[in-house]
Amino acid sequence: MNKAVVDLIGVDKEYGGHPALTGISLTIADGEFLSLLGPSGCGKTTLLRLIGGFEKCTRGTLLLDGRAMDPIPPEKRAVNTVFQNYALFPHMSVFDNVAFGLRMAKKPAAEITRSVASALELVQLAGMERRRPNELSGGQQQRVAIARAIVNKPRVLLLDEPLSALDHRLRKQMQKELKQLQRTLGITFVLVTHDQDEAFAMSDRVVVMQHGRIEQIGTPMEIYEEPVNLYVARFVGDINVLDGVVRNRLGSSTYQALVEDATVSLKSKQPLELGQPIHVLLRPEDFRLELERDIAESRDLSAKFQQARLKGTVRRIFYHGATYDVEVALESGNRIQVTEFFDEDSENLYFKPGDAVILGWHEGWEVVLPHEK
């Protein structure tokens, strides 16, 4: 990891005695794209406002480039913010909006002209200098807000749900552009979002939050593949949770367990004890689904399933275009979601409601967690 730009050490934030953030320790690396991800009210914006200097920590330390930030006001920090509502000056032209900060800092006119032109070029708004915000589309206003924030080359750019007002297509396009902009500038970006796709598409690392605490910090792949608890697993996509009990230890990290009614071998990162209740987590795309009658006809069962076989019945099908989801009721009553791809040779879906099926997965594809109460 590059050297730290922002360091939060044991930070708490309270409003009128109510905790908004608790025990936040987080190091943000120079040039990193980091997202703060969590549901409404989990403290993402509060964390951003602390870094920006709009709020003070109740306890703990906030460092920027190794310097304590507590006494430093927002305008003296090498940090800029792009707000959700853009906060443009409506009576000023695009040029004047972007030039505002540089003029306040009393930069020479020639430098201002040069810097504004280069910032507008970066956000693809060259030629629109004279327009007012109300003469721009939502996407263009967003670009002005970004140009204004990057024009004085901050160390850190804070983005508070900057794409939430845009339609789906524009949002996807702006995600790519923001990521490209961050690479070009090499500035550290900290993005607040409640949208997992957005966080995953753009970030080097994602911080998943709940109730003012950090639940997990990791790359998008680590968060998706190795969630540390059920909350994180559920927040970042569909997940099936099977319950089980540890029966035997097979190796240093492999165990035999009873899951639903099948005996399976599992890999676990954490040590488990015999008799311990566990959750076995599998994403819908991790399962292999077979019709019971196909299995019965097949002589080589082991080739089809190297792992558990759970019996169930197809209940419902959800069509998504390139894939479809099959909802399977297991014998225990537990309902499982399995994602299937279309068979290119067939016009019909392979599975239909009422089919007796067998579910399996390959050892090691599961995530095993101690059972949560």
Enumerate residues 186-245 that contact ligand ATP by CB under 6 A: 194
Q: How far is the CB of 17 from ligand ATP (least distance, A)?
A: 10
CB nearer to ligand ATP: pick between 47 and 282: 47
CB nearer to ligand ATP: pick between 62 and 112: 62
d(CA 59, CA 275): 42
- Encoded tokens for 49: 């406002």
Give the binding-site size for ligand ATP (rule: CB under 6 A). Answer: 11
Q: Which are the contacts of 115, defined by CB distance < 8 A and separation ≥ 6?
A: 102, 107, 151, 152
Q: How many CB atoms lie within 10 A of CB 296?
A: 11
Return the range that interacts with ligand ATP (CB under 6 A); candidates 4-12, 33-41, 107-115, 250-258: 33-41
d(CA 369, CA 363): 15
CB nearer to ligand ATP: pick between 42 and 233: 42
Q: How far is the CB of 38 from ligand ATP (least distance, A)?
A: 6
Q: Tell whether residue 20 is a contact of ligand ATP (CB under 6 A).
A: yes
Q: How far is the CB of 104 from ligand ATP (least distance, A)?
A: 26
Q: How far is the CB of 181 from ligand ATP (least distance, A)?
A: 23
Helix (H, G, I), strand (E, B) or coil at 255: strand
Question: How far is Cα of residue 207 from the mean position of the Cα atoms in its chain?
Answer: 7
Q: Which amino acid is at 40?
A: S
Bridge-partner residues for 258, per DSSP? 245, 263
Q: How far is the CB of 120 from ligand ATP (least distance, A)?
A: 29
Q: Which listed residue (10, 15, 59, 352) binds ligand ATP by CB under 6 A? A: 15
CB nearer to ligand ATP: pick between 40 and 134: 40
* 123 within 8 A of 87, measured Cβ to Cβ: no
Q: How far is the CB of 215 from ligand ATP (least distance, A)?
A: 13
Q: How far is the CB of 68 from ligand ATP (least distance, A)?
A: 22
Q: What single string gives the DSSP state of each residue in 53-93?
A: TSS--SEEEEEETTEE-TT--GGGSSEEEE-TT----TTS-
CB nearer to ligand ATP: pick between 46 and 97: 46
Q: How many helices (H) and strands (E) does the chain have?
A: 10, 20
Binding mask 177-196 for ligand ATP (x = CB under 6 A): -----------------x--
CB nearer to ligand ATP: pick between 156 and 357: 156
Enumerate residues 35-54 that contact ligand ATP by CB under 6 A: 38, 40-46
Per-residue CA distances from 163 to 77, 128, 137, 245 (Å): 24, 21, 13, 44
d(CA 182, CA 149): 12
Binding site for ligand ATP (CB under 6 A): 15, 20, 38, 40-46, 194
